[in-house]
């Protein structure tokens, strides 16, 4: 077997003082086991990112780092949000690791799936996504809203793995490629499939939080969904344009009707001109708005400074 890879497990933590003692113990035991089985290299680390927590999360992380060489800690100056905390962790891990796994601090995602992740990695996958086989432990509300969201995203043309969380493995080259995306508004679940590397999925059953409560209240969930749509899809703008065209077409039909009424003398004075202007102007305004929106959408995508290509391999001979 070739050398085992150096694995970094990145864990974003926001007010997780209750979960961390349990989480750290379990994840450390898992890494020890994987090192013993020569699945990962002894230099593998668990990197915890404190996302500007208000409780004692950082004290817990700092304590772990001081007493245990397997842990690394990053503290963000303010609450930057789940995605940004993850990004911070990935940025720190990238130069040091062969592959990286991100997992939530509450261990709702089964850590034993990591064996499957690493097996897929050894078999050549650059991206391994954890997929929840059931959402039995989620509330009915969370389940239906989440499923509706995935459906909507797919309809808007965003490629997303159904029921995938932010529990995934990235090889160092996939990680490097992902980190080269220049956008500030990001939605990792939609961005990772854009990388295009060889991808595998591993199924697992999602459990309950080990401790504490969800850091995603409804407000954040809605924000997360809007972020997902607006950061990846320009389609909503196109719908405005379409509505405008429809409106204008209806306006023409309305115009014909109005003219007929006018000539038949069945309309009161002033009605015809008012009706015509309402429909035609309304339609034209919507089309114009949609058109401006199209350009703004283009500008938006430009400002993301995404890489134009992602290199998978480059075969060449420097001697020649």
Query: At closest approach, how far in Å is the CB of 192 from ligand UDP?
Result: 16
Mask 94-113, x = binds Mg ion (CB under 5 A)? Answer: ----------x-x-x-----
Q: Does 31 bind Mg ion (CB under 5 A)?
A: no
Mask 59-98, x = binds Mg ion (CB under 5 A)? Answer: ----------------------------------------
With CB under 5 to 8 Å by kind, the binding choice for 82 among Mg ion, ligand UDP, none is ligand UDP
Q: Does 51 bind Mg ion (CB under 5 A)?
A: no
Query: At closest approach, how far in Å is the CB of 72 from ligand UDP?
Result: 16
Residue (12 or 244) nearer to ligand UDP, CB = 12
Query: At closest approach, how far in Å is the CB of 106 from Mg ion?
Result: 4
Residue (176 or 220) nearer to Mg ion, CB = 220
Query: At closest approach, how far in Å is the CB of 250 from ligand UDP?
Result: 43
The footprint of ligand UDP (CB under 6 A) covers: 12-14, 16, 51, 79, 81-82, 85, 104-106, 108, 214-216
CB 111 within 8 A of CB 17: no
Query: At closest approach, how far in Å is the CB of 5 from ligand UDP?
Result: 24
Which residues contribute to the site for Mg ion (CB under 5 A)? 104, 106, 108
């Amino acid at each position: 077997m070739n050398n085992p890879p150096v694995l970094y497990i990145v864990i974003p933590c926001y007010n997780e003082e209750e979960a961390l003692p349990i989480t750290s113990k379990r994840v450390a035991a898992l890494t020890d086991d994987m090192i013993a089985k020569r699945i990962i290299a002894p230099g593998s680390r668990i990197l915890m990112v404190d996302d500007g927590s208000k409780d004692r999360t950082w004290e817990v992380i700092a304590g772990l780092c001081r007493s245990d060489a397997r842990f690394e800690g990053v503290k963000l100056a303010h609450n930057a949000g789940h995605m940004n905390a993850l990004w911070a962790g990935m940025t720190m891990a990238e130069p040091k690791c062969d592959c990286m796994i991100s997992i939530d601090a509450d261990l709702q995602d089964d850590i034993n799936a990591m064996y499957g992740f690493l097996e897929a990695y050894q078999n050549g996958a650059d991206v391994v996504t954890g997929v929840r086989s059931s959402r039995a432990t989620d509330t009915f509300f969370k389940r239906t809203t989440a499923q509706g969201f995935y459906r909507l995203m797919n309809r808007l043309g965003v490629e997303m793995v159904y029921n995938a969380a932010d529990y995934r493995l990235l090889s160092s080259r996939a990680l490097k490629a992902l980190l080269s995306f220049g956008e500030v508004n990001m939605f990792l679940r939609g961005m990772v499939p854009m990388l295009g590397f060889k991808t595998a999925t591993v199924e697992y059953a999602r459990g309950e939080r080990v401790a504490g409560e969800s850091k995603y209240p409804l407000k954040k969930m809605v924000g997360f969904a809007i972020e997902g749509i607006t950061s990846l899809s320009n389609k909503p703008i196109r719908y405005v344009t379409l509505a405008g065209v429809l409106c204008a077409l209806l306006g023409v039909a309305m115009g014909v009707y109005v003219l007929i009424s006018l000539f038949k003398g069945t309309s009161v004075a002033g009605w015809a001109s008012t009706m015509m202007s309402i429909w035609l102007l309304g339609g034209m305004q919507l089309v114009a708005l949609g058109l401006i929106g199209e350009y703004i959408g283009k500008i938006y995508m430009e400002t993301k400074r995404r890489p134009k290509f992602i290199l998978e391999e480059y075969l060449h001979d420097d001697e020649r």
